[in-house]
Structures are given as structure tokens and as C-alpha cells.
Structure 1
Amino acid sequence: MPPDSDPPIAAHDLNHWFGTGEARKQALFDVTLKVKRGSLTVLMGPSGSGKTTLLTLLGCLREVQDGSVQLLGHELHGANGALLTTLRRRLGFVFQAHNLHNSLTARQNVVMGLQVHGNLPADQADTAASHVLHLVGLGDRLDYLPANLSGGQKQRVAVARALVGNPDVIFADEPTAALDRESGANVVDLIKRLGRERGTTTVMVTHDNRVLDQADRIVTLEDGRIVGDRQTNT
């Protein structure tokens, strides 16, 4: 396991703008943040505070304009497309919109999460997808189409798709917003277990106060700046 002195995520003096000319507006101001391996870090704050912008910059989904982001030992500022593609293969993403393919079963949707990792034999991919769907409580829904799943079940399929490749880091944007209390707790419990057992690091944007008890750390943003950063007792 890498030492804590070499965190999987480290941002330093990170600034970001949207728009051009007179419409240009700064969204992040001098954000500095290090995330410990295996931890669940929650980003909180009102709408427009910069949470999702920060998440997408850390997850190499948006170009770093100013400052530094180190992800899994690689600098993202100025990184070329090949490096970004390689890094994304080591990540898992969960968003509020589940983005499932309606013509594919739950298992087939999860298998798609393995395709970025190369040509895994079909039987191995099916076995891996079935295993992670069992982990999220959908072992009896493997061959269901999204139209025959509830909103919470669809989101759990999306979580399974993000987890199936055993990512080093999970980036999650409001992953429990569409889930009932039990389903949301199950998803966060699974993420926590991955942190303990595999060293998976998770950064999660949420307005869901039910998640806070599970977080290892809560970082609060306001108007593009970090205004609070506290470790919890979990």
C-alpha cells in the first residue's frame, strides 16, 4: 500500500473559470486538497459552490486550467489525451442520472463497465458483473431491463457498473439522491467496504445528510472556495 505521503489525489492552488471575455466567471479559487487512500471524502456546499466542478477536475473529466492536480501519481495540468485515457480506466464514476442503456439488461449494462479495461473473455465479464450486482443487492435482477427496475434499482446498477473494474478511485456526484434510505445506506456501505478491503478512494458530492455519518472527511465549499474541512470519527 502506498504511504500516506503519496496520496492518490492532491490538488494545489487550483483555479477554474467558465466562459470567455466579459462573461468569464471564476468558479474555483486557490483550492488545495489532499485525499487519503481508502477514504470516503464528501464535498458539501450549496448549489453553485463549485463541488461538481472540483469533482470533474479531480477525475480528469475537465481540463485543468490553472494550478495542479495529481491523480494516482500523474499531473493532470497539461496532460495529453493518452495519459488521461489511461487514468480514466483506473477510475469509477457514479452520477445522479444512472445513464443505463435501456436495451441492455442489468448484467449487460455492468459488463459495459469492463469494456474500458480491454477484451475480457465474455464468461469472465459475465461472472464479474453478476458478482458485483449481488453485492449491491440485485442478484435476482440480473436479466431485467431498466424499464422493469425501480429508480433505486437502476442507480444500484449504475453503482455496480462503476465498481466492477475494481477502480482505484471512485468519483460520485449525488449517487444517493434517487435512492430510498435503505438503498442509499447499502450503496455507501459498499463504498466504505471497498475502501477498507481494497484501498479504494472515494470522493462524493452530495446534499444527502444521511451520508455524512459514513464519511471519513467532510469538505465544505462556498463560492468556489473551501470554507470547511473536518475529519469525522468513522
Structure 2
Amino acid sequence: MALDDAPLRTSELNHWFGAGEARKQALFDVSLSIARGSLTVLVGPSGSGKTTLLTLLGCLREVQDGSVVLLGHELHGARPALGVALRRRLGFIFQAHNLHESLTAMQNVLMGLQVKGRVDKATAERAATHALGLLGLSDRMDYLPANLSGGQKQRVAIARALVGNPDVVLADEPTAALDRESGANVVDLLKRLGEARGTTTVMVTHDTRILDLADRVLTLEDGCIVGDQQR
């Protein structure tokens, strides 16, 4: 594919945490291009920079040095309003489900549409019902999080991330709370979205069970990409 078609690109990306003598570099000259519709997995030991890279790709941290191009827009030096607009085109899945405890599964998923702009109620409810059904939660739509298992809560969070048909999904350990079958089903769903809709997924994981499902596996160590395996 043409480089300009890549929904995610970085060039000589560096990042630091802290200040003064405590300043520590977390990423070193990371350059990559992620193909549209692909499922890319980031692996490596804890502290290798995987989540830092993911948050920079998703406009959740300011780009300090180097380049990040997200959906055709340069993030280095960009105005905050651009980050807000771009985040509406993304789906985020975090290891902590971050559900609102006072809202039902359906209401939590509907929130994923509300942040993207105005959607009429009937359309929103159809989309939320469909997303929950895809995750095997049709019989749990009216349950509060307190009445759901950990795996069910995570699947609600995944449905919330996917309900608005995002261009890019950024996932941090999305299968950590899921059993083998549920985790494989989630990754398979993300792959099918890539094939059918062109949804691009970048996933941080320690779950070796799903590596064979990835289109590409990037290995990070000490803030550097040390392996790039296409599948």
C-alpha cells in the first residue's frame, strides 16, 4: 500500500518521562508504518515501551520528539482540538474496563456513541444491541457492572470501543481478563472488522495464545523495536 494510505505512521519517535536527573528515555527512534485493516500486536517485557507507544499513537500523550501521523494528521505540535477530533475516530480498549458502575451494559456501550457526536436514539440502540450481541452479551444488556463477571465487563468495554465503527482500535491487554475461547473470539472479531471495514487494530499483549492470529508482531525491548514479524 502507498505510505500515505497508512492510518498510523511514526518516524524517529522518542519519548521521555521525568525531568532533570530523573529524566528517563522510554522510546528510542521508533519508526513504523501500520497497514490499513491490519491487526498488529506489540509484545515485549514490562517496561519496554509498548503502552507508551500505544498512548502516543492514540493522542493520549503529547509527542515530544519525532513524528506521529494518525489518519493523515501530524500530531507533533498539533493543537489540542485536533487530538479531540481524532480521538472520536478511535476505539480504545484498556485492561481496566473503566465501566460506569451506575449504568447498565447497554448504557455503557451507548456512551461510546455519545462521544462521537449526535446519533438518534433508535440508531444508537440498534448499534449498541448489535455490538453487545457480537460479544455474546445479548442476555446481559440490562445488567449493572456489579452483576457481571470480570470477563463480561471486559467484553462490554470492547463493545463500547467498537460500537461507533472506529477507523483505528488501540487495545492494551484486551484479553487479559478473558478465558481462552473468549479471548480468541475477540481477536477474531477484530480481524473480521479489519477485513470487512478496514478497521486497523494495534494491540499490546502478553497473551501468547493470540499471536498466531496477528498479521504482524512487533517486539519492543528497552524502548526499541527489535523484532518485526509479518504473518
What is the TM-score with the length of structure 1 in the denominator? Answer: 0.97
How far the C-alpha of 1:164 sits from its partner, in A, is: 0.3
1:126 aligns with 2:125: yes
Secondary structure of the corresponding residue to residue 202 of structure 1 = strand
Q: Which runs of 5+ in 2 are unaligned?
A: none
> 2 CA distance for matches of 1:211 and 1:96?
16
The equivalent residue for 1:211 is 210
Cα deviation digits, residues 122-181 of structure 1 (max 9, x gap): 222111101110011111111111111111111000000000010000000000001001
- Counterpart residue identity of residue 80, structure 1: R
The equivalent residue for 1:58 is 57
- Counterpart residue identity of residue 208, structure 1: D
Q: 2:30–2:225: 8 Å Cα contact kept in structure 1?
A: yes
The equivalent residue for 1:70 is 69
> 1 CA distance for matches of 2:5 and 2:182?
34
Q: 2:38–2:199: 8 Å Cα contact kept in structure 1?
A: yes
> 1 CA distance for matches of 2:2 and 2:126?
33
1:1-80 paired onto structure 2 within 5 Å: 3=2, 5-80=4-79
1:86-165 paired onto structure 2 within 5 Å: 86-165=85-164
The number of equivalent residue pairs is: 231
1:186 aligns with 2:181: no
> 2 CA distance for matches of 1:205 and 1:83?
25
Secondary structure of the corresponding residue to residue 104 of structure 1 = coil
Secondary structure of the corresponding residue to residue 48 of structure 1 = coil
How far the C-alpha of 1:3 sits from its partner, in A, is: 4.7
Secondary structure of the corresponding residue to residue 186 of structure 1 = helix
> 2 CA distance for matches of 1:59 and 1:120?
23
> 2 CA distance for matches of 1:214 and 1:177?
16
Cα deviation digits, residues 71-124 of structure 1 (max 9, x gap): 000000001011111100000000000010111110000000001111212222
> 1 CA distance for matches of 2:195 and 2:89?
18
Q: 2:3–2:33: 8 Å Cα contact kept in structure 1?
A: no
Query: 122-131 or 21-30, which moves further after superposition?
Result: 122-131
- Counterpart residue identity of residue 181, structure 2: E
Cα deviation digits, residues 170-200 of structure 1 (max 9, x gap): 0000000010011101111110110000000
Identity %: 76
How far the C-alpha of 1:4 sits from its partner, in A, is: 5.5
What is the TM-score with the length of structure 2 in the denominator? Answer: 0.98
- Counterpart residue identity of residue 19, structure 2: T
Query: 5-14 or 191-200, which moves further after superposition?
Result: 5-14
Q: 4+ residue runs of structure 1 moved beyond 4 angstroms?
A: 2-5
- Counterpart residue identity of residue 224, structure 1: G
Secondary structure of the corresponding residue to residue 140 of structure 1 = helix
Secondary structure of the corresponding residue to residue 5 of structure 2 = coil
The equivalent residue for 1:85 is 84
The equivalent residue for 1:175 is 174
Q: Which runs of 5+ in 1 are unaligned?
A: none
Q: 1:4–1:37: 8 Å Cα contact kept in structure 2?
A: no
